[in-house]
Structure 1
Amino acid sequence: MAPRRYLPPVLVGLLLAAQLSACTGGGGHGTVRLGRVERADVSEVVEAPATVSARATAVLRAPAQGTIRRVYVGDGDRVREGEVLAKIASPGAEEQLAEAREADRSASGGGTSVPAGLDLSAFQRRTDATARDGFASARKTALRIADLKQRALVLAGIAQAEARYRTAADAARAAVARLDAGLGSVGATLSSITAAQRVQTRAAVRAAERTVAALTIKAPFDGVAGLGGPAGGTRDLGDLIGGLPGQAGSQGTAGLGGLGGAGTDASSIATGAPVSSGDAVVTVTDVSKLSLVADVDETDVLQVTEGVQAGVEFDAVPGGAYAAEVTGVGATPKEASGGGVTYRVTLALGRGTLPGGGTAPRPKPGMSAVVDLRVREVRGVLSVPSAAIVSSGRDSVVWVVSGGRAQRRVVGLGAQGDASVQVTRGLREGERIVVRGADSVEQGQELNP
């Protein structure tokens, strides 16, 4: 998208009034209009489509299969951080927590017995295999979390638990080696193996506790609530729990499955309504600060930098004019629908005014807009109307009136607005030039005053 040339309407009127005087060219070449090189302010603008974005949006999802016990908010309600929005009843999650705690109590109390003739080395290998499968499954699940920040936190937790298990498992293998060498006791060896198992059982308890706690859905920040939300949820670490000693085949774990929660609308969120793991229950949007996300064409984006000012228009607010400022320019390309690529540019959205001078309404997240990025602004510079410029190969040409005839003059250009263009070389202030019909003028053509 080529830059859209722009000059504020008041300046356009003043410039044209000062520059234009009618005359008729001779030689049958039709009507041309003459004017003078004047000083004016010129703004070069890049136009781009944009969308309003909220400061933050959180889709709060059911952590387990169950039913909605109670909903405390409605669509459009203002909510505060930490406020309870809904509660979910999930017998499966409660059962899973009870099983995880029982397995942990059994491990901590030395509940693992040693059958006669048990090969402790093989027993430890099976424990290690169970742990590997559990951690690998948990990591695979975590990698499907769309939210990059949440994904990183979950993966970090898995890595920490895995590191603790490796430490405990190394101690257990060393104990088995000492026993095989006749240097240790069966009790001490089994205690080391149990310690490794407890790393897994404690992780299971923590994951199950998080799931049960998440059955009470709370607002993560101040904002506006909306019932339901889009598809795309992910489950918690149910796979890790299912791979722990004493948890294999647990029905509670199966109940917490469901990768990719379904989207739900407001009518689906009501007391007694069933939900699956990952289903959207409430969406909270922080509208305290609105921004714009614009898609700027690759041919223009190098002109856009932080701090560039912009004007904004919304289809939803006819005649409204809003101010904005660029806060960031992305580096990741996005394929444009018409070919080529665009880049994401973010802008802080300011207040708007209506044609009569009143305050324009505050737009809502998701509304579409058009932004005019003023990538270059110069004041009091030599300028000519855009129509005075004729392209000739790589040159920009202006027809100057000299001795009553047209003289070709190559000029240098600076900022280029819709109605006016800055001239950096080739012209002097006050010189008379062709400002309309320039493409029909020939060298030496007589131009009547």
Structure 2
Amino acid sequence: MPSKLMQTANPFRIRNTAAQDTVVLASKGARWKRWGLVGGGVVVLAAALAWVVMGWAAGGRSFDASRVRIATVTRGDLVRDLAADGRVITANSPTLYAIDGGTVTLQVVAGDVVKKGDALAVIDSPALRSRLVQEQSTLAGLQAEASRATLDVTRARAEASKTIDQARIDRQAAERDVERYQRAFDGGALPQVELAKSQDTLKKSEIELQHARQDASLKQQGAQLDARNKALLAQRQNAVVEELQRQVDALTLRAPFDGQVGQVQVAQGTNVAINAPILSVVDLSKFEVEIKVPESFARDLAIGVPAQLTSGSGEPYPGKISAVSPEVVSGEVTARVRFDGKQPPGLRQSQRMSARILLDTRSNVLKVERGPFVEQSGGRYAYVMAGSSAQRQPVQLGVSSLSETEVLSGLNEGDRVVVSGADQFGDAPRVTVH
């Protein structure tokens, strides 16, 4: 009994947890909530998987955006111009050479301003001067022979005239004899034999007159031919003398135009050989600018294409292309630009100048910034950005300027194109740029 009473009397005594456990039946709302959580996890997992698949589809390789340059396709005017730095050269700067060997006496120094015809240097050539004197003596002898041949023609003409006159007188005498013998024969005082003999004498005198005329003509022709040959020999010798005289005169080097003495290539008193360069003369009124143009623009250059030249002061001067080199050296073509009108004052040879050549202007065309992609694959493909991926697609490009390229097909206005750095893509159809 006491134990039972003690048990009843202690209210804090817990025998077990059976009285605390209660069976609760799950409701429909709880089940849907649980399935919703599971479905949400599946959707998140599917989205992550789709993102991975899209990244894989966008290309197996990805590249840093800082390693590429992207430009936007725009519409507007495309000005095809060419800018280049050049140096001033003289359009007319001949070098004067020694016409013969000898000792040089300079009359000027480098930088002297000279007028046309001024003596610049004198070459002392005794051998050339001696040859001139010898040839002049030969010319004098030939001219004397030509004069004598002319006198021979006159004498032959006089002798021929004398012979003809004598033959004519003989004929007249024979003719008078025939007339006298004919009257005597008619009067019966002279036999017929004598008359016939006088007639034969007349015929003989006529023949002699005819031959005298022919001989006179031949002698005159012969004398004239001889005189002509002597005159031609004298003329030939005169040409030799004139040439030697020209060479002797050329021993004095003279300025071919108003200008300035350029480089002097010999020292005072130097004994030079024939055809040795002595000095150059610069024409200060005719300067050109020599520029080097990239090979890709060479086909667009032509003589007469307008250009604009800018000096150190910034003032532009009009010009035209005057020459284009036919060969390519180190990927460049050399061209010359001539001033079209006035030129800047105080120009000096080898002075630096900027040239801008206007090749063409095209209005309202699709264009994009020019970059290495123009030369890659011959400009037939370009990588176009779509979000963070770049897709390789065919394009057709037109003419190019230094900064822009015309787009003929394959791109639309607003497209973003990888213009630089696409060479690292390795012709992949699609890559990721982030």
TM bucket normalised to smaller: 0.5 to 0.7
What's 2:321 paired with?
327
Q: Deviations over 1:165-214 (max 9, x none)?
A: xxxxxxxxxxxxx99x9745876554333112112111122112212222
Q: Deviations over 1:318-339 (max 9, x none)?
A: x999978552455x844x666x
Deviation at 1:425, TM superposition (A): 2.9
What's 2:337 paired with?
347
Q: Deviations over 1:407-447 (max 9, x none)?
A: 65533322334553222333333345566766759768788
Amino acid in structure 1 at the alignment position of 2:107: Y
Structure with greater Cα Rg: 2
Indicate if the aligned counterparts of 2:381 and 2:392 stay in contact, CA closer than 8 A: no
Q: Which runs of 5+ in 1 are unaligned?
A: 1-24, 115-177, 229-263, 352-358
Deviation at 1:299, TM superposition (A): 6.0
Separation (CA, whole Å) in 2 of partners of 1:362 and 1:76? 14
Superposed, 1:28-427 pairs within 5 Å as 29-32=62-65, 36-39=72-75, 42=78, 52-68=88-104, 70-110=105-145, 183=219, 190-226=226-262, 228=264, 264-265=265-266, 268-270=267-269, 273-293=270-290, 300-308=297-305, 325-330=319-324, 333-334=326-327, 345-348=335-338, 362-365=347-350, 375-378=359-362, 381-386=365-370, 389=373, 395-401=380-386, 409-417=393-401, 419-427=403-411
Separation (CA, whole Å) in 2 of partners of 1:294 and 1:87? 38
Q: Percent identity?
A: 23
Deviation at 1:104, TM superposition (A): 1.9
Indicate if the aligned counterparts of 1:80 and 1:222 stay in contact, CA closer than 8 A: yes
- How many residue pairs get matched? 304
Indicate if the aligned counterparts of 1:55 and 1:287 stay in contact, CA closer than 8 A: no
Separation (CA, whole Å) in 2 of partners of 1:433 and 1:61? 61
Deviation at 1:81, TM superposition (A): 1.0
Deviation at 1:67, TM superposition (A): 3.0
Separation (CA, whole Å) in 2 of partners of 1:406 and 1:89? 80
Separation (CA, whole Å) in 2 of partners of 1:80 and 1:389? 57
Amino acid in structure 1 at the alignment position of 2:268: I
Amino acid in structure 2 at the alignment position of 1:410: P
The 1:436/1:31 distance shift into structure 2, 3 A limit, reads farther
Indicate if the aligned counterparts of 1:303 and 1:375 stay in contact, CA closer than 8 A: yes
The 1:43/1:103 distance shift into structure 2, 3 A limit, reads same
Separation (CA, whole Å) in 2 of partners of 1:184 and 1:360? 71
The 1:323/1:424 distance shift into structure 2, 3 A limit, reads farther
Amino acid in structure 2 at the alignment position of 1:81: K
Separation (CA, whole Å) in 2 of partners of 1:206 and 1:393? 65
Deviation at 1:392, TM superposition (A): 5.8
Separation (CA, whole Å) in 1 of partners of 2:71 and 2:218? 107
Deviation at 1:399, TM superposition (A): 1.4
Q: Tell me, what secondary structure is at the counterpart of 1:277?
A: coil
Indicate if the aligned counterparts of 2:367 and 2:405 stay in contact, CA closer than 8 A: yes
Indicate if the aligned counterparts of 1:400 and 1:409 stay in contact, CA closer than 8 A: no
Amino acid in structure 2 at the alignment position of 1:347: V
Indicate if the aligned counterparts of 2:82 and 2:401 stay in contact, CA closer than 8 A: no
Higher helix fraction (1 or 2): 2
Q: Deviations over 1:214-249 (max 9, x none)?
A: 233211001111464xxxxxxxxxxxxxxxxxxxxx
Q: Tell me, what secondary structure is at the counterpart of 1:109?
A: helix
Provide TM-score, normalisation by structure 1: 0.51
Indicate if the aligned counterparts of 2:115 and 2:259 stay in contact, CA closer than 8 A: yes
Separation (CA, whole Å) in 1 of partners of 2:421 and 2:278? 64
Separation (CA, whole Å) in 2 of partners of 1:88 and 1:35? 68
Separation (CA, whole Å) in 2 of partners of 1:185 and 1:387? 87
The 1:387/1:208 distance shift into structure 2, 3 A limit, reads closer
Separation (CA, whole Å) in 2 of partners of 1:408 and 1:90? 78
Provide TM-score, normalisation by structure 2: 0.53
Separation (CA, whole Å) in 1 of partners of 2:295 and 2:108? 44
Separation (CA, whole Å) in 1 of partners of 2:430 and 2:130? 96
Indicate if the aligned counterparts of 2:397 and 2:406 stay in contact, CA closer than 8 A: yes
Separation (CA, whole Å) in 1 of partners of 2:369 and 2:81? 16
Amino acid in structure 1 at the alignment position of 2:62: H
Separation (CA, whole Å) in 2 of partners of 1:207 and 1:437? 70
Q: Deviations over 1:357-413 (max 9, x none)?
A: xx9984525x799977664554664322345958568732341538x8766553332
Higher strand fraction (1 or 2): 1
Deviation at 1:280, TM superposition (A): 2.9
Q: Which stretch of structure 1 is more off in the superposition, 429-438 or 367-376?
A: 367-376
Indicate if the aligned counterparts of 1:55 and 1:288 stay in contact, CA closer than 8 A: no
What's 1:3 paired with?
none
Separation (CA, whole Å) in 2 of partners of 1:279 and 1:407? 67
